[in-house]
A and B are shown apart, each in its own frame.
Chain A
Amino acid sequence: MMNVIEIKNLTKTYGKSRGISDISFSVEEGEIFGFIGPNGAGKSTTIRTLLSLIYPTSGSATIFGKDTVQFAPEIKKEIGYLPSEVFYYDNMKVKDLLNYSASFYKKDCSKRIKELAEIMDLDLNKKIDDLSLGNKKKVGIVQGLLHEPKLIILDEPTSGLDPLMQQKFFELLEEENRKGATILFSSHILTEVQRLCNRVAIIKEGKIVTVEKISTLKENTYKKFKVETKETLAPYYFNLPGVNKLEVKGNLTSFLFKGNINEVMRKIAEIEITNLWIEEPDLEEIFMHYYEKEA
């Protein structure tokens, strides 16, 4: 399978910000690839380097097999980009802005603009200044997709969207993906990446920690259990293989578990409980997991 994006030893250091160092990964054609890490880890820096808004200090990247710096204008014909914060020229109507955006691509996008605006419930006749943050984001979504790009790059795309719109947006992305678009989806929210992506790259402090399939990642991560019981449990009750950080505080027992979840469920079924919490580990805990593995 062809790699749509190939990043080789990409390094960018500048100013006070951390930048990125020695990043390498590839995104295959037709996949939805998650790019995940906390704020300031270097996700936007990587994306902006791919888009030649900034230039690499060393290393290189190709998109559609072409160097991102040398062939920037050419490869951008087939890229749709949604930045994390959308800013547009004031004093323009949504319609005018979208038409201006479309005028850069040598095709008629008017039909697609209407379709997308309908899906995203966006009023084309409003002035951009008058729009709420969420509606500006919708303009960004339509703007990024109106030319039916082969590669969609999204940088923290869901901030500002309400859950309903987020749902519609995800469906839209899945639809584009079915039609053949490759998607690079950057986020700091694990659940949305899990929902959409096939594979993820995890970045922290400017370095790639791991590139994994979502399914593998899930198998390898902990679940947080918190069990409230009528009577205080013996401290060794949950002492199974795969259990970590077991703590018993009065009637509340908590631990981390990695492995076959049924084993724990059976143990829980045998005792009288009053409440139960099972939580996905948050991103920070995933990182902990990967750092522990490295150490």
Chain B
Amino acid sequence: MNIFLKEMKSHRKSLLFWSIGIFLMVASGMFKYESLSSSGQPMNEMLGGMPKSMLAVLGIGEFDISTATGYYGLLFIYLLLMATIHAAMLGATIIAKEERDKTTEFLFVKPVSRNRIITAKLLAAFSNILILNLVTFVSSLALVRKYSNGEVVTEDIAMTMAGMFILQLLFMVIGSSLAAGKRKSKSAASLATGVLLLTYVISVAIDLNEDIEGLKYITPFKYFEAKSVMFGGGFEPIFVLLSGVLIAALTVATFVFYKKRDLNV
């Protein structure tokens, strides 16, 4: 419990900044929607003239961005990127920071097992990503509602947020297992972010080229896309299962790797 509270306290500031960042992201995105929709230009027509590959790169795809929810679907990918980058970095640093700050000789000579230390740290990271998720949820709900002209949005947004939370968890344990397994755990955060960006690029590539659709299983960004979750009837069971298995496996890996490693002092 003491380790958990210590971790919560030491990540307080960074969580606050991420929350402000994500709120501003939603706010500025929806503000742009307001100016676009009030300019009177038929947006769909304008977009219709653009090549499909360009739309894919921009993440616009098949959204009807003349509606608030459609526009939010477009915005969602950026929120997802932010939240997962936060999760991956948090998962890696919360494990690696004792070695980075050379505090191993303080914490690991205390009468607690490594398993208990990792449990406390992962719970703290879990709470942090949950809070960031709720902040995103509340800001999205408030701001989309403002522009949605009475359209019911709560359920759609709740679904995307649930999907986002699963991916946050997944990237958190990708980060933590890398930090636990790598001999130089300091570089785990950048490696985890690298994995994240790579899988994101793969997901864009799939949008561009339908021949490689089979790759969708290896990039989490394809698991709970807004276009399918919001407008295509919810989660696909295969992806929920796949994420669940990955999260469980990587959590176990974090514990096993960390228990066995020689700590860098």
A interface residues, Cβ below 8 angstroms from B: 14, 44, 48, 51-55, 72-74, 76-77, 79, 81, 83, 85, 87-91, 100-101, 103-105, 143
**Known contacts A89-B10, A104-B2, A53 near B103 by CB under 8 Å:** no
In order of increasing CB-CB distance, the 5 nearest A-B pairs are A87-B102, A54-B262, A104-B110, A83-B105, A77-B111
Q: Measured between alpha carbons, how far is A203 from B51 in the docked complex, in Å?
A: 73
Q: Measured between alpha carbons, how far is A68 from B205 in the docked complex, in Å?
A: 52
A103, B102: Cβ atoms under 8 Å?
no
Q: Does any Cβ of A come within 8 Å of B139's Cβ?
A: no
Q: Does any Cβ of A come within 8 Å of B265's Cβ?
A: yes
Contacts of A104 in B (CB 8 A): 2, 110-112
Contacts of B103 in A (CB 8 A): 87-89
Q: Measured between alpha carbons, how far is A55 from B109 in the docked complex, in Å?
A: 14
**Known contacts A81-B105, A85-B102, A89-B101, A100 near B6 by CB under 8 Å:** yes
Contacts of A105 in B (CB 8 A): 111
B113, A53: Cβ atoms under 8 Å?
no
Q: Does any Cβ of A come within 8 Å of B231's Cβ?
A: no
When C-beta atoms are compared, the residue in chain B nearest to A84 turns out to be: B105
A53, B112: Cβ atoms under 8 Å?
no
Q: How many A-B residue pairs have CB under 8 A?
A: 60
Minimum C-beta distance from B158 to chain A (A): 37
Contacts of B113 in A (CB 8 A): 72-73
**Known contacts A73-B111, A76-B109, A89-B10, A53 near B104 by CB under 8 Å:** yes
Q: Measured between alpha carbons, how far is A76 from B104 in the docked complex, in Å?
A: 14
A51, B102: Cβ atoms under 8 Å?
no
When C-beta atoms are compared, the residue in chain B nearest to A75 turns out to be: B111
B109, A51: Cβ atoms under 8 Å?
yes
Q: 8 Å CB contacts to A: which residues of B1-41?
A: 2, 6, 10
Q: Which of B10, B102, B109 contacts A79 (CB 8 A)?
A: B109
Q: Measured between alpha carbons, how far is A101 from B112 in the docked complex, in Å?
A: 12
Contacts of A48 in B (CB 8 A): 265
Q: Measured between alpha carbons, how far is A229 from B109 in the docked complex, in Å?
A: 57
Contacts of B265 in A (CB 8 A): 44, 48, 53-54, 83
When C-beta atoms are compared, the residue in chain A nearest to B6 turns out to be: A100
Contacts of B130 in A (CB 8 A): none
A87, B101: Cβ atoms under 8 Å?
yes
Q: Measured between alpha carbons, how far is A110 from B104 in the docked complex, in Å?
A: 24
A-B contact pairs, 23 of them (CB 8 A): A44-B265, A48-B265, A51-B109, A53-B262, A54-B265, A55-B262, A73-B112, A73-B116, A76-B109, A76-B110, A77-B111, A83-B265, A87-B101, A87-B102, A87-B103, A87-B106, A88-B106, A89-B6, A89-B106, A100-B2, A104-B2, A105-B111, A143-B106
Q: Does any Cβ of A come within 8 Å of B217's Cβ?
A: no
A54, B263: Cβ atoms under 8 Å?
yes
Q: Measured between alpha carbons, how far is A194 from B235 in the docked complex, in Å?
A: 72
Contacts of A44 in B (CB 8 A): 265
Contacts of B111 in A (CB 8 A): 73-74, 76-77, 104-105
